[in-house]
Amino acid sequence: MESHRRIEIVNELLEETVLMRSVLEQALEGKQVEAQQKEESQHILEDEPNPVPVFSIQEEHASWQKIFGALLEIETALLHIGQAERQRMVARFSSNA
């Protein structure tokens, strides 16, 4: 696989992590608003579905943040590899000339 294609794939994954973190941040904000409203109303309806616990949303968000950081490290490593590959090609062509 070509160096630029590897970087494209990592960038696509980085975009996905940004999107997922944004969605989870919105969900957390919604949970906070919901909690405030419940606190103000002081009642829970019997037929109301069990909400997703906030801690699981926070844990998922933290996992996406870890993935984002790891992908940045991978991207940096792939850039170094691409640079090394280009330098080898230049050296190979220089020695053949």
Question: Which tens digit of pLDDT belongs to each residue from 48-95?
Answer: 666 667 779 999 999 999 999 999 999 999 999 999 999 998 998 888
The count of structural domains within the chain is 1
Domain holding 34, by residue range, is 3-44+52-96
Helix (H, G, I), strand (E, B) or coil at 55: helix
- pTM, two decimal places: 0.74
3-state helix, strand, coil split of the chain in percent (to 5) is 85, 0, 15
